[in-house]
Amino acid sequence: MPKAHTRLPNSHITVAQYASDLGLNVPVYRICDPQHGFNAYIQSFIHKVEV
């Protein structure tokens, strides 16, 4: 399984796995609650990882 992905998944469960695959320490409650904007939250980590 590659550690890097080209697209951010839509499912919050997949997002959690995506973050886990990247080795990111992301609070589960931020991932499981879309009202907290988990996509932007994950993207901010991904940006740091890729840059």
pLDDT in tens, 4-37: 555 555 555 566 666 677 776 655 555 555 555 5
Q: Give residue 16's pLDDT.
A: 64
In a domain, 2, yes or no: no
CA distance 11 to 8: 9
Q: Does 7 fall in a domain?
A: no
Instruction: Give whole-number Cα distances, 4 to 15, 18, 21, in Å.
Output: 13, 9, 8
Residue 1 lies in a domain: no
- Residue 6 forms part of a structural domain: no
The token pair at 17 is 């796995």
Domain count of the fold of the chain: 1
Q: Provide, for the chain, the percentages of residues in helix, strand and coil under a 3-state DSSP scheme, each rounded to the nearest 5.
A: 60, 0, 40
Asked, for residue 5, whether it belongs to a domain, the answer is no
Q: Which domain holds residue 30?
A: 12-50
pLDDT of residue 1: 47
Task: Assess if residue 33 is contained within a domain.
Answer: yes
19: buried, middle or exposed (CB in 10 Å: 19+, 13-18, 0-12)? buried
Average pLDDT rounded to a whole number, residues 40-49: 64
